[in-house]
Amino acid sequence: MNTSPRATALMTAVTIVFAVLLAYGETRAFSFDEGFHLMAARLIKEGKRPYLDFCFPQTPLNAYWNAFWLLLFGDNWRVIHAVAAVMIAAAVFLAADFILKRFPAPGWQLAAAVSVAFLFGLNGSVVIWGPIGQAYALCLFLTVASFRVCILAVERPSPLLAGAAGCLVSAAAASSLLTAPAIPVLFLWMVFYNRAGARIQKAAAFIAGAAIPFLPVLWLFINAPHQVWFNLVDYHLHYRSVHWEDAPQHDFEVLISWIDCSQALLLGLLAVGGLLFIRSAGGWERARRAEFYLSAWIALLMGVEIATAHPTFSWYFLLIVPFLAIPAAAGIYVVGARLYKPDRPRWPVAVLTVLLAFGLAKTIYDDSDSLKWRTMQAMAKKVEQVTPPNATLWANEHIFFLTGRPIPEGMEFQAGMKLDMPMSQAAPLHILPGPELARRVKSGAYSTIATCDDDKMEKLGLKDLYTNKEDIDSCFVFWGFKATTQ
């Protein structure tokens, strides 16, 4: 098979990105919230249903996706990380390939495509938070894929592509609702810019395709409306920030944190500069401008939703990185063509790559002191040493996942333990509320406790309740309950 030099060069850039993602994902990538996602996948693999059998305040598609891979390869977090790295690399290719094929300046198409691959794939948040068990990787792939398919759908008369675009973007929302604003953006853009075939048919196909990923949620809702409503709506509206008094200040600090991030500043400035250039540049077809505007609209509206999540986190914004990188390609073109030489794109791209590499290195260095899977593995090993096979255990979800022990009712989503609700209300939701947990701990209900939560450890007085403890990277395993403690 003959491969063009441009395709080879682009695939080389994507391969570099994939190597970075895979290396980081298999050695250092870790998220504390990842635990309940992996535990949910294991429970689904075992035949349990989200919402009905355990608390899972997320849309469920990513959990089913992870469960599929656990079913094939066993309960191994490295498999999930490897799959996530593949999905992100595929998303990087789709975004960069779009530029390679659609960028209006022929002499800059490859350079701009490589720039997008590195702006996207070497982004610090993407590398650190992407190749894990949460939904980010799958959402990146699905949203970028729906963007590409939607652009094809307006050019061709068949409504099948419109249906596929709707299904892909809705699947992203069925993995994380943070991507939900992309659904109306793509739908309205497709209807407004349609150039072939019947608008009404394509609109209907898009809506029908968008319904498909949520059919399992509908089935679950029919069977248990109260539990599904609590997980997907009520929890986020009323319980997500419980006992987080400084959440507004936290959100404000997150929203201004881009000022201290060189990669975020560079990406944002290039994207804004690229959009300004696209608006004023001659020689750009209306259809081509519209495609870049579509990317910007997705980034804007998804960014607004992420910014208004309460509380929000800086890594949520990695979901808009590809849609900022696409107009940023025009930005690097402006910088290189006007400040250097319009027919020599290599040096601007080389400088950009060096800046991105240093920015990524700094981000990884700053994250070096955070928890990693090796700490969880050491804790799991200690738990297995000191806990009899049938003894009771309270630990975070990672430990249950690593040890393969059955997880007690209510511990599948341990953030629910901060809620103060009566057991009569909590039990149908599969939540173990804080007061009940404290009562059980102080009564000696748990043979072993493994935790990294200093506040909870102090509040419950675990050091006074247990005879033995071991410090593992500032996390603790307690065993040997003092039966005489009052």
Query: 17-54 burial, b if ≥16 CB within 10 A, otherwise e?
Result: bbebbbebbbebbbbbebbbbbbbbbbbbeebbbbebb
| Tens-place pLDDT, residues 3-50 | 688 889 999 999 999 999 999 999 999 999 999 999 999 999 999 999
181 and 320, same structural domain? yes
Lowest mean pLDDT among 71-85, 126-140, 206-220, 445-459: 445-459
Residue 486 falls inside a structural domain? no
Query: 182-208 burial, b if ≥16 CB within 10 A, otherwise e?
Result: bbebbbebbeebbeebeeeebbebbee
Range of the domain at 255: 5-366
pLDDT at position 250 is: 87
CA distance 21 to 18: 5
170 and 145, same structural domain? yes
474 and 348, same structural domain? no
Residue 430 falls inside a structural domain? yes
422 and 314, same structural domain? no
382 and 347, same structural domain? no
Of 366, 401, 431, which one is at a domain's C-terminal end? 366
CA distance 325 to 320: 9
* Average pLDDT score over the chain: 93
Find where tokens 């071991």 sit: 470
Q: Is the model's pLDDT at 485 over the cut of 60?
A: no
| Tens-place pLDDT, residues 283-329 | 788 889 999 999 999 999 999 999 998 889 999 999 999 999 999 99
| Tens-place pLDDT, residues 110-145 | 999 999 999 999 999 999 999 999 999 999 999 999
For the record, the structure tokens of 296 come out as: 């910007």
Based on the structure, what is the number of domains in the chain? 2
pLDDT at position 398 is: 96
Would you say how long the chain is, in residues? Answer: 486
322 and 277, same structural domain? yes
The residues near 202 (Cβ < 8 Å, ≥ 6 apart) are: 153, 159, 162, 190, 191, 194
pLDDT at position 2 is: 53
85 and 206, same structural domain? yes
329 and 458, same structural domain? no
